[in-house]
């Protein structure tokens, strides 16, 4: 049976307990660094920590999610590394990292993935508004307040002030299944205990060396995960139906994207938008002045910048099969275009078309990287 340990939470609360746990991880002879979100100058950002003293600023449960760290983890693992790094990540960060590994942009060697049971996070704008409004609260206090409120599911109600981000409200993967070790919060009374659950031999090896007490039953957690997944799937279905209606014709799709200013923030924020250089910033799209005049004459009026629809459809073609639904595209949009909604809908369909699910299994090849000799007969009218 896989190792399941108990992380005891004492008087000083769950954040102190998790820092203590990570200090033990960092002290392990095979671990050279811990990567986790820290409070850096008031902002919650991923940090690579080597000095145990600096773990006091670490807060993996903060309800802030300014970037999907999968891209950073990929960069940190590609090539030679000094020792192992233990990375504390959200489930969607692990799933995005899995996709990057498939693209050879990151490596699963020399890294121990510690996944947190994820209640979600606020959209960055909501988080900043909240910190401004409650300036007197410390970041730790804000995290603890969030941990108190989140388990009931109340923050998933769009009427909450504020609710967690839309992407989190429809996230059917709150449990970090691809992790080596799960930091279990679901179903636990976080004022008393949390769990560390080993899911792989790597995780088990590390966890056994930490010498933590065994946990009793995880039944409460299993039940909580099941309930959350069911609730989120129901919400996802409703959202998908609404989005399908909103983009059901090219005209409606154009309305949907009308506020897009081609800033390409969504692609920068996307952890799985994999090209090293995006074609949309190359000379291919440096049109000549006379071309604009020609297009304008054809229609009577030309919206500039051009290629907005082209950009979004191309990104759907490139990245929707690898979309893990982290919602950073919507988080990064300066004009509140529901990019995530579009990707969840289309990604759901394109992934289903190939029987694929992004982030599910590191051994499952990306659908556009392989083919079978006999398949998809419907594409060629029954001829294969």
Chain residues that interact with other proteins, rule: CB under 8 A: 244, 247-254, 257, 279, 295, 298-299, 302-303, 306-310, 313-314, 316-318, 320-321, 345-346, 349-350, 353-354, 367-368, 371-376, 379-381, 383-384
Give the residue with the Cβ less far from other proteins, 330 or 351. Answer: 351
> How far is Cα 170 from Cα 172, in angstroms, rounded to an integer?
6
Measured from the CB of residue 197, what is the shortest distance to other proteins in angstroms?
36
Measured from the CB of residue 123, what is the shortest distance to other proteins in angstroms?
25
CB 89 within 8 A of CB 116: yes
Element (H, E) at 46: strand 43-49
Q: Tell me whether strands 84-89 and 193-198 are parallel, antiparallel or unpaired.
A: unpaired
Measured from the CB of residue 309, what is the shortest distance to other proteins in angstroms?
5
> How far is Cα 230 from Cα 224, in angstroms, rounded to an integer?
10
Give the residue with the Cβ less far from other proteins, 224 or 342. Answer: 342
CB 322 within 8 A of CB 272: yes
Give the residue with the Cβ less far from other proteins, 10 or 303. Answer: 303
Give the residue with the Cβ less far from other proteins, 200 or 314. Answer: 314
Nearest to 59 by CA among 128, 146, 134: 146
User: Which of helix, strand or coil describes residue 63?
Assistant: coil
Measured from the CB of residue 83, what is the shortest distance to other proteins in angstroms?
40
CB 38 within 8 A of CB 20: no
> How far is Cα 312 from Cα 82, in angstroms, rounded to an integer?
40
Sign of the dihedral through C-alpha 164, 333, 270, 66: negative
Measured from the CB of residue 248, what is the shortest distance to other proteins in angstroms?
5
Measured from the CB of residue 101, what is the shortest distance to other proteins in angstroms?
21
> How far is Cα 64 from Cα 43, in angstroms, rounded to an integer?
9
Give the residue with the Cβ less far from other proteins, 220 or 278. Answer: 278
> How far is Cα 312 from Cα 308, in angstroms, rounded to an integer?
6
Measured from the CB of residue 254, what is the shortest distance to other proteins in angstroms?
5
Measured from the CB of residue 355, what is the shortest distance to other proteins in angstroms?
12
Give the residue with the Cβ less far from other proteins, 78 or 246. Answer: 246
Q: How far is CA 363 from CA 150, 163, 199, 238, 300, in A?
A: 34, 36, 16, 31, 52
Give the residue with the Cβ less far from other proteins, 1 or 301. Answer: 301
Give the residue with the Cβ less far from other proteins, 86 or 345. Answer: 345
Element (H, E) at 40: strand 31-40
């Amino acid at each position: 049976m896989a190792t399941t340990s108990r992380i005891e939470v004492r008087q000083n609360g769950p954040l102190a307990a998790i820092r203590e746990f990570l200090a033990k991880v960092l002290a392990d002879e095979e671990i050279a660094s811990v990567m986790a979100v820290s409070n850096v100058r008031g902002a919650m950002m991923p940090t690579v920590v080597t000095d145990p003293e600096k773990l006091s600023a670490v807060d993996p449960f903060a309800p802030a999610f300014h970037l999907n760290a999968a891209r950073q983890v990929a960069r940190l693992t590609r090539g030679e590394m000094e020792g192992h790094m233990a990375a504390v990540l959200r489930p969607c960060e692990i799933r995005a990292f899995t996709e990057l590994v498939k693209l050879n942009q990151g490596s699963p060697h020399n890294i121990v993935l510690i996944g947190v049971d994820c209640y979600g996070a606020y959209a960055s704008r909501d988080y900043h508004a909240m910190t401004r409004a409650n300036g007197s609260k410390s970041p730790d206090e804000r995290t603890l307040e969030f941990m108190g409120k989140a388990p009931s599911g109340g923050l998933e109600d769009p009427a909450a002030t504020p609710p967690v981000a839309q992407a989190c409200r429809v996230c059917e993967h709150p449990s970090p299944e691809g992790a080596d070790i799960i930091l279990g919060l679901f179903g636990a009374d976080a004022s008393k205990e949390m769990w560390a659950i080993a899911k792989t031999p790597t995780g088990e090896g590390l966890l056994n060396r930490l010498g933590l007490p065994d946990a009793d039953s995880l039944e409460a957690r299993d039940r909580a995960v099941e309930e959350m997944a069911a609730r989120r799937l129901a919400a996802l279905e409703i959202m998908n139906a609404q989005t399908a209606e909103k983009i059901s014709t090219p005209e409606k799709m154009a309305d949907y994207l009308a506020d897009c200013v081609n800033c390409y923030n969504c692609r920068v924020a996307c952890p799985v938008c994999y090209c090293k250089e995006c074609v949309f910033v190359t000379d291919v799209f440096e049109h000549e002045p006379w071309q604009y005049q020609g297009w304008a004459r054809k229609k009577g009026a030309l919206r500039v910048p051009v290629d907005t629809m082209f950009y979004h459809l191309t990104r759907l073609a490139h990245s929707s099969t690898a979309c893990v639904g982290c919602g950073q595209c919507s988080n990064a949009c300066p004009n509140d275009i529901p990019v995530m909604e579009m990707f969840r809908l289309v990604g759901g369909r394109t992934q289903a078309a190939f029987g694929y699910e992004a982030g599910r299994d590191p051994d499952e090849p990306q659908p556009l990287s392989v083919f079978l000799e006999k398949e998809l007969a419907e594409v060629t009218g029954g001829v294969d």
